Structure 1
Amino acid sequence: MFKKFLVISVPFILILCGCSKGEISNTLEAVETGVELTESLLSTTDESNTSEDAEEVVVKYVTDGDTISFFRGGSLEVKGRLIGINAPENTSKKELLGDVSTKYLKDLIEGKKITIERDKDSTDKYGRELIHVFYDGQNINQLLVEQGLARVAYVYDDYKYIDLYKESEEIAKNERRGIWSIPNYVDEESNGYDMSVIQ
């Protein structure tokens, strides 16, 4: 099932190798000011196809592009980590495009009712629930990856939607969206990002 959905389109900006701080600053400004709402039909997993243990919760706040807090049962606050992906940091550690990824997710789901689905790994080492997130028929983990605002990472098992996330990552790579617009920024040897490429 396809649904019309307002998404934030991040410009596909290709940055040449050896970028200066000024060039990076100009690029970030272009990304942030060039963000616009567009109607998009995305190939995503319908909420009606989620597993029987899918649960509706309300998002209290978005911490960054892959971490949220939500209310369970109306009052119990729980921290959740979007499983199978990693967005640039935007908390104590600041990484390029972390603020853009955070704002994207915040605008999308903060204060909203979402559906979450757990996988084989239930929590991470910080005690956060590992979750696939759905909103208005959209798989949000996939959406972040497809927009180039997160990468596939921390895959320790055959997670339910991991093939979907990998396919979306290839789209983002090929079209140089977001994090993939900066040569060597996505560290292929780890699950993170290499800020040293920004001079």
Structure 2
Amino acid sequence: MLKEHYKVYEEKMKKSVEAVERDFGAVRAGRANASVLNRIQVDYYGTPTPIQQIAAVASPDPRTLLITPWDASALKGIEKAIQESDLGINPQNDGKSIRLAFPQLTEERRKELVKQIRKYNEGGKVAIRNIRRDALEAFKKMQKASEITEDELKLAEKDLQKMTDDHCKELDKLLDTKEKELMSV
């Protein structure tokens, strides 16, 4: 019976790891990549909308992204959303499209990006620990309701801690890989 409950919490932990992986994917090492825009939402007629849904995104060269909205009225909104994001790149608006020029990575910028991915990593670990806490509370309630024994509760605590440790180690491996990628480009 406990195995079914474990699966639910393990799935949640996996989703946390996948979310951090997506965040890491949005951090690019000096190359223009449209995925850096994935998390940016534009206020489009009062609705938060992803840039890719209201504009064509092209990469004319390795260090530039060209964003051309299908509706010219969205241009200012896209520019504002990029400026307010944590992208750290100033958009250049020519009246028809927006250019994002990705600078050559300096040592300082690499260190900023490493800090950013470490923050994402820590956020993922906090999410995983919160899932563990929720799971423990659920198991304690089950024990109080006499659905599981005290021994089963102790076993569940041990298993949840191992699950938490495994997922946190997975996040650390992802972090190491991404740090090496950022520092070697």
Structure with the bigger percentage of strand: 1
Say yes or no: TM over 0.5. Answer: no
Structure label with greater radius of gyration = 2
Give the TM-score normalised by structure 1.
0.26
